Chains A and B, each alone.
Chain A
Amino acid sequence: MTTKQENPRQPLSHLDWLESEAIYILREVAGQCSNPVLLFSGGKDSLCILRLAEKAFRPGRFPFPLMHIDTGHNYKEVIDFRDQRAAELGERLIVRNVEDSMKRGTVVLKSADESRNKHQSVTLLEAIEEFGFDCCIGGARRDEEKARAKERIMSFRDEFGQWDPKNQRPELWSLYNARSHKGENIRAFPISNWTEMDVWQYIEREKLQLPSIYFAHQRDVVMRGGSIVPVNVPLVNGEVANPVKVGEEIINMQIRFRTVGDISCTAPVISDADDVSKIVLETATSTITERGATRLDDQTSDASMEQRKKEGYF
């Protein structure tokens, strides 16, 4: 005869645990917030969250729409994928454009070729106001950047969308507090505790489809300030982003993207990983952090992410 104690429970695998936690967080948002929205860019992190939302809410519909803040400078492959995925899920997709904020005069670029990435914050805050969203679900992870290591699962933003690191709610056990007054906002991060490796392992396990630019492909690039910069990138609106500059030499290289965002600040890495399992291997043996190599916008100063978050960036 055996007692229960002698037959210990099998621990959940780390992916099962992370999945369960993320589903729990999504359901807390649905249970506590009256008008949430899921920020969806077509990138790998937000694709994981869509899968988690399916597991959290099917066979029902998602209790929130999807929304993308489009800088207009995104890779066409990603935008097409974004639209296709939203259609497959049968969920509502809202797109708000930084270009419209520019037309309204709420976003003013310092120069025509300035990165629009940080200006997404303005368009996001305008969209939050337009729809009256009380919570934005995002795919940020604490391992991405040190300003994120202290981020809450439910992060409080004031009426100006500002994140005040000194005025965040303590978060104990899994008792998340997503309450807000009118005009205030919660940013909810269901995959806070995931690392880049966890994301890729989850993509592999769940057999998730991704935009093609995550996989190794040939592309025209130049070397600019020590980074690989894709040039002459066709945009959805027919224009061309990142035109090659005088004196630059175009090289056709096999590359892939580790993060996907605004073209102006997302640099690729040299890679021959053309499927998910090869990417998992590459990630395990990588010697450079995800943002270190590929996010041009985080390198400006030691505290640049912290600064942008204080200004309302997600």
Chain B
Amino acid sequence: MSSTNKQRIDSQHNDSLLRFMTCGSVDDGKSTLIGRLLYDTKTILADTLTQITRTSEKRGLTAVDLSLLTDGLQAEREQGITIDVAYRYFSTGTRKYIIADAPGHEQYTRNMVTAASTANLAIILIDARKGVLTQTRRHSYLAHLVGIPHIVVAVNKMDLVNYDQAVYDKICADYLVFANEIGLAQSQIAAGNDISFIPMSALNGDMLVDRLDNMPWYDGKTMIEMLEAAPSAHTEHNEPFRFPVQFVCRPHASDNPELHDFRGFMGRIESGEIAVGDAVTVLPNGYQSKVKAIQIGEAQLQSATTEQSITLLLEDEIDTSRGDMIVKSCEAQEPVKQIDAFVCWLSETPMSPARTYVIRHTTRESKAKVGAIHYKVDVNTLEEQATIDLKMNDIARITFKLAQPLMVDSYNTNRATGAFIIIDESSNNTVGAGMII
């Protein structure tokens, strides 16, 4: 065992985690990009490599096809397409990565939205020979709509344009023109977010993990350096404290009499920070109290932060249950019974404006009726069009009337408390995804 390897393992105990997604089609080299990242970070082990080598030979290929690493289910292989979001994992020693690999075709808008919902960075692939295409616009719009803070535009297949800097520069310029048109560039900058560009060849590995020497004119970061430098989701913003109650722990039946009055509010901090002694309000009822203790398992904490699952104990006995939201008293929001949102329809059954649906927002549910469908957005031209219903993959701006009050923030200020899903009670399926305006 070399000492570098030992260090690598020790450091894994303190490393962070980044979730990102890749947007593009097989033609753009998306599978090859992912295969290359897994291969060059040595995530691929011998038996997997043997397996794909064998498949490559069977298909008559001369070199190992790295895109086979992300080859999907039998059902998909038969159709030769990817129909669903797949999750892949790799680690560099300083960071763990979760890749959401979504198909890029128009009819899979819902899969892209799904993959984007948990991603903090998106790699948008452009074929250097083709430049900015309709699908590039679609991917960029969706990444923007779902609020991915870091966008990396990867101009791939540079090997097929002789690694020509002029080609790369032109594509970057074209992209920026378009990004300005849709307001992507401005809003990314306004929110402290960014768009980066990188030339690469996923097939050869140029600018992925290794720089290689085909593009001496590019002195920016390699792909892996960009990924290593991107902030983790919860370190970026100073959002108000939002703590949806998931479960209330009342072990009064326990043999331990000391626990008779124990009442722990369990949940995950969706945003912000909390400390012992902070004044809090429980919504929607508005009861006020102070934080008595914060626990994770047997560990007692003085404070806790975004994305930690904790148990919160309050000074006062307050009747609180799943679906309530604990906030800092100085940052309390007003519960609402109407929301205006962008909705992506996910179900093969179209949305019927006459029906009642269930909206799940954080840990809370409410029945909801459509108040108005304002317009739908053509994801290719970004045109707003009048519509009376919503079909799968449609994106529309809708107003809902709610039976129960919800404690919401706007999606562009808070991805956790600005998001909801729509459930069809007859099938129990998740039929829509919403982002509150």
Return chain B residues, CB-CB under 8 Å to A24.
246, 267-268, 309
| Contact assessment for A175 and B12 in the assembled complex, using a CB-CB cutoff below 8 Å | no
Chain B: residues with Cβ within 8 Å of the partner, total of: 82
Residues of B within 8 A of A165 (CB): 73, 75, 84
Complex Cα gap A54–B251 (Å)? 13
Given A9-B235, A24-B309, A172-B114; A280-B9 close (CB under 8 Å): yes
A170 within 8 A of B: yes
Residues of A within 8 A of B307 (CB): 12, 17, 20
Interface size class of A (residues with CB under 8 A): 35 or more
* Residue of B251, B254, B322 touching A31 (CB-CB under 8 A): B322
- Please provide the chain A residues from 31 to 83 with a CB less than 8 Å away from any CB of chain B in the complex: 31, 54-61, 63
A289, B330: Cα distance in complex, Å = 51
Residues in A whose Cβ lies below 8 Å from that of B14: 13
Give the CA-CA distance A193 to B360 in the complex, in Å. Answer: 23
> What distance in Å separates the Cβ of A136 from its nearest Cβ neighbour in chain B?
17
Instruction: Assess whether B5 is interfacial by the CB under 8 Å rule.
Output: yes
Residues of A within 8 A of B433 (CB): 170, 172
| Neighbouring B residues of A20 by C-beta, 8 Å | 268, 307-309
A58 and B298 in contact, given A9-B234, A150-B73 (Cβ under 8 angstroms)? yes
Asked whether, in the complex, the Cβ of A14 is within 8 Å of the Cβ of B16, the reply is yes
Are A59 and B256 in touch, CB under 8 angstroms? yes
Q: Is B118 a contact of A173 with CB atoms below 8 Å?
A: yes
Whether a CB of chain B sits under 8 angstroms from the CB of A296 is no
Q: Which residues of B contact A142 (CB under 8 A)?
A: 87, 89
Q: Quick check: which of B125-133, B397-405, B423-431 contacts chain A, the rest being far away?
A: B423-431
| Residue interface mask A239-275, B partner, CB < 8 A = 1 | 0000000000000000000000000000000000000
A166 and B83 contact, CB distance less than 8 A: yes
Q: Is the CB of B297 within 8 A of A54?
A: yes
Report Cα–Cα, A56/B264, bound state, in Å. Answer: 11
Nearest CB in chain A to that of B258: its residue: A59
A302 to chain B: which residues have CB within 8 Å?
Answer: 74
CA distance A302 to B75 in the complex (A): 12
A195 CB to nearest chain B CB (Å): 5
B419 interface residue, CB < 8 Å from A? yes
A150 to B73, CA, bound (A): 9
Q: Which of B255-290 contact A (CB under 8 A)?
A: 256, 259, 262, 264, 266-268, 273
Question: Of all chain B residues, which has the CB nearest A30?
Answer: B247
A303: B residues at CB distance < 8 A:
73-74
Q: Once the chains bind, are A293 and B47 in contact (CB under 8 Å)?
A: yes
Any A CB within 8 A of the CB of B228: no
A86 located at the interface, meaning its Cβ lies under 8 Å from any Cβ of chain B in the complex? no
With a CB–CB cut-off of 8 A, which chain A residues contact B1? 281, 285
Chain A neighbourhood of B6, CB < 8 A = 281
CB distance from B417 to the nearest CB of A (A): 10
Asked if A61 and B45 make an inter-chain contact with CB atoms under 8 angstroms apart, the answer reads no
Shortest beta-carbon distance, A42 to chain B, in Å? 22
Q: Is B232 positioned at the interface, with any CB of A under 8 Å from its CB?
A: yes
Chain B residue at smallest Cβ distance from A299: B47
Interface residue? B26 (CB, 8 A):
no
Given known contacts A173-B419, A303-B73, A284 and B9 CB-to-CB distance under 8 angstroms: yes
* Cross-chain contact of B86 among A9, A61, A149, A293 (Cβ < 8 A): A149
Residue interface mask B1-44, A partner, CB < 8 A = 1: 10001101100111111000000000000000000000000000
**What are 24 residue pairs bridging A and B, where the CB atoms are less than 8 Å apart in the complex?**
A9-B234, A9-B273, A11-B235, A12-B17, A12-B308, A13-B14, A17-B17, A19-B309, A20-B308, A28-B246, A28-B363, A59-B249, A59-B254, A59-B262, A142-B87, A146-B71, A150-B86, A165-B73, A169-B430, A170-B346, A175-B419, A193-B87, A289-B48, A292-B47
- Chain A contact residues, CB within 8 Å of chain B: 4-5, 8-21, 23-24, 27-28, 30-31, 54-61, 63, 142-143, 146-147, 149-150, 165-166, 168-175, 177, 179-181, 192-193, 195, 197-198, 201, 205, 280-281, 284-289, 292-293, 302-303, 306-307
